[in-house]
Amino acid sequence: MFPSSQTLNSAFKGTQKPFIAASPAEKGGIELNSAKYFYTCAAGGVLACGLTHFALTPLDMLKCRMQVNKSLYSGVFDGFKKVASAEGFKGLYLG
CA 30 to chain CA mean position, Å: 23
Question: Is pLDDT above 90 for 17?
Answer: no
DSSP letter for 72, please: S
Give the pLDDT confidence score for residue 76 in this predicted structure: 92
Average pLDDT score, the chain: 82
- pLDDT confidence of residue 61: 93
Rounded Cα gap, residues 85 and 80, in angstroms: 8
21-55 pLDDT, tens digit each: 655 566 667 788 889 889 989 999 999 999 999 99
Rounded to an integer, what distance in angstroms lies between the CA atom of residue 38 and that of residue 31?
10
At 38 the pLDDT is 92
Q: Please give the pLDDT value at position 1.
A: 65
- What percentage of residues in the chain have a pLDDT greater than 70? 69
